[in-house]
Amino acid sequence: MVGVCTKNCETTVNRVLKTVDRGLEEFFPGEDKLIVVSDGFSKDHTLEIAGNTPTKNRKSVVTQEGGPGKGNGVKTILKIAYREGARALTLVDGDLLSLEPVWIHNLFCPVLRGKDLVVPLYVRHPFDGVITNQVAYPLTTVLHGKEVRQPIGGEFSLSSRFIKKVLAHPLFPEKFGVDVFITTCGIAEGFKVVESVLGRKEHTSTRRYENPRDLLIPMFYQVVGTMFELFLYYREETRRVSKIEKVERLGKTRVGRVGEVKVDVDRLLEFFWEDWEKLYYHSPQAGFLSPIKKEIEDSLEKTEFSFPVGTWAKCVFLGLKNYEKAKKQTLDVLRVFWQARYISLVLETKDLSPEEVEKEIQSQINIFWRYRSVFL
């Protein structure tokens, strides 16, 4: 079964469904196959187009159960997969621009050979993956001991036994946190997790990165909030982590051309300084950062804007320690400095090649690991 989550995807859903259908026909002839579209209350023509798109395989188009939110869309798909007795389920986003039929092969095959969870590995622009690169990748890796490069990628494959596990999990999120929930649950619960190389990823939501308040800030609260809740839930498992292991990677990574992600640094700086005044500098809720208050202020007083990754890592771990007693307030403060770290990365790497930027992003793991032991 392939599940497609949609919301206002009228310009992309036709191509996504045709590509999924071709992938199933080309690589899995003779299998009993089902495509399910789970729509998140689209206000455009997504439902109509999805219903009218012809496919050779069985197709079902439904409105997701529960309220708005990607997590509810995914849960709707998982319930259908469980009822249908699917032995393998692949999830893809309905706004993908770069989906190819071979993705269906690369996502399904590891599960059909005995794995439980397949997470994607894409070629992406260095300034894409704003939450992935600054938070989800380094923090998931050092907390749970498995290095998954893109833990909130969006495309996954799940085995039937893993589907049953996540459906019963008490922390199943309703919104954007569902991707990091799936990855973390797979690692922390001891399932067989692998990465599968898919290639270039582009999707329409990337175009909204220029205005973070439209998409990325709400996503930050949902994703990071889910990560912190999972940290509390798996606290005992986290304490037993003593080293970092790379998960098995299937396929060869290739350097490829990716679409440009435009970053309006001046606008982001304007947003940051507004939030700095409101949510940090004059706010008592930032008191949990008092151990590094001088370090933060010294770094931001330099002539050229700079917020080093080490300072950011300390903010994250102090936030983890404070989260249980002041959840929203902690996230309010951390998202100010998440923006600072992203701006700093863009400025630090503006003259580097994509390969060099990737090395900089991966080097965060050692820094986060160092401060994990200090603060946790």
- Same domain? For 172 and 271 the reply is no
- Same domain? For 111 and 218 the reply is yes
Mean pLDDT of all residues in 68-89:
97
CATH number at residue 31: 3.90.550.10
Mean pLDDT of all residues in 224-228:
98
With respect to residue 260, please indicate whether it lies within any of the assigned structural domains.
no
Mean pLDDT of all residues in 72-99:
97
* 243-264 CB burial, b ≥16 within 10 A, e <16: eeeebebbeeeeeeebbebebe
Instruction: Give residue 258's pLDDT.
Output: 63
- Same domain? For 92 and 240 the reply is yes
CB atoms within 10 A of CB 266: 8
Instruction: Give residue 21's pLDDT.
Output: 98
- Say if residue 160 is exposed, middle or buried (CB neighbours under 10 Å; 0-12, 13-18, 19+): middle
- Same domain? For 357 and 241 the reply is no
- DSSP of 70-139, one letter per residue? HHHHHHHHHHHHHHHT-SEEEEEETTBSS--HHHHHHHHHHHHTT-SEEEEEEE--TTS-HHIIIIIHHH
| Domain assignment of residue 126, given as a range | 2-250
Confidence check: pLDDT of 256 > 80 = no
- Same domain? For 207 and 167 the reply is yes
User: What percent of the chain lies above the pLDDT cut of 90?
Assistant: 78
Q: Which residue has the tokens 């079902």?
A: 60
Domain count, the chain: 2
Instruction: Give residue 224's pLDDT.
Output: 98
DSSP state of 258: -
End-to-end CA distance of the chain: 41
Q: What is the mean pLDDT of the chain?
A: 92
With respect to residue 258, please indicate whether it lies within any of the assigned structural domains.
no
Amino acid at 22: R
Mean pLDDT of all residues in 67-77:
97
With respect to residue 375, please indicate whether it lies within any of the assigned structural domains.
no
With respect to residue 256, please indicate whether it lies within any of the assigned structural domains.
no
Mean pLDDT of all residues in 135-159:
96
Mean pLDDT of all residues in 283-294:
90
Mean pLDDT of all residues in 314-332:
96
Instruction: Give residue 213's pLDDT.
Output: 65
- pLDDT single digits (tens) 204-225: 765 544 555 667 889 999 999 9
- pLDDT single digits (tens) 324-370: 999 999 999 999 999 999 999 999 998 888 889 899 999 999 999 99
| Most distant CA atoms of the chain, gap in Å | 65
Instruction: Give residue 125's pLDDT.
Output: 78
With respect to residue 181, please indicate whether it lies within any of the assigned structural domains.
yes
Instruction: Give residue 195's pLDDT.
Output: 97
- Same domain? For 224 and 293 the reply is no
Is the pTM here over 0.85, yes or no?
yes
List residues bridging with 62 in a β-sheet.
38
Q: Which of the listed residues 250, 280, 314 is the one where a domain comes to its end?
A: 250
CB atoms within 10 A of CB 373: 9
Cα distances (angstroms) measured from residue 316 to each of 148, 293, 330 = 19, 14, 10
Confidence check: pLDDT of 280 > 80 = no
Confidence check: pLDDT of 282 > 90 = no
- Same domain? For 223 and 284 the reply is no
Among the listed residues 106, 99, 102, 118, the one whose alpha carbon sits nearest the alpha carbon of residue 203: 99
Instruction: Give residue 262's pLDDT.
Output: 78
Confidence check: pLDDT of 278 > 90 = no
In angstroms, the CA 156 to CA 179 distance is: 9
- Same domain? For 44 and 107 the reply is yes
Q: What is the three-class DSSP state of 60?
A: strand
Confidence check: pLDDT of 41 > 90 = yes
CB 3 within 8 Å of CB 83: no
User: What percent of the chain lies above the pLDDT cut of 70?
Assistant: 95
Q: Which of the listed residues 218, 250, 282 is the one where a domain comes to its end?
A: 250
Confidence check: pLDDT of 88 > 90 = yes
For strand 34-39 and strand 117-123, is the pairing parallel, antiparallel, or unpaired?
unpaired
In angstroms, the CA 147 to CA 132 distance is: 13
Residues across the chain: 376
- Same domain? For 243 and 133 the reply is yes
With respect to residue 376, please indicate whether it lies within any of the assigned structural domains.
no
Mean pLDDT of all residues in 91-114:
96
Among the listed residues 149, 155, 146, the one whose alpha carbon sits nearest the alpha carbon of residue 186: 146
Instruction: Give residue 303's pLDDT.
Output: 79
- Same domain? For 286 and 171 the reply is no
Mean pLDDT of all residues in 288-296:
93
Q: Which of the listed residues 222, 250, 278 is the one where a domain comes to its end?
A: 250
348 against 125, higher pLDDT: 348
Confidence check: pLDDT of 124 > 90 = no
Find the Cα–Cα–Cα–Cα dihedral 209, 342, 320, 117, rounded to 10°.
60
Amino acid at 66: G
- Of 94-103, 186-195, 208-217, 310-319, which gets the smallest average pLDDT? 208-217
- Of 55-59, 134-138, 321-325, 355-359, which gets the smallest average pLDDT? 355-359
- Same domain? For 245 and 269 the reply is no
Among the listed residues 270, 186, 297, 177, the one whose alpha carbon sits nearest the alpha carbon of residue 228: 177
CB 103 within 8 Å of CB 15: no
With respect to residue 98, please indicate whether it lies within any of the assigned structural domains.
yes
With respect to residue 257, please indicate whether it lies within any of the assigned structural domains.
no
- Same domain? For 128 and 216 the reply is yes
Sheet holding 34-39, edge to edge: 58-63, 34-39, 2-6, 88-93, 156-159, 117-123, 193-200, 248-250
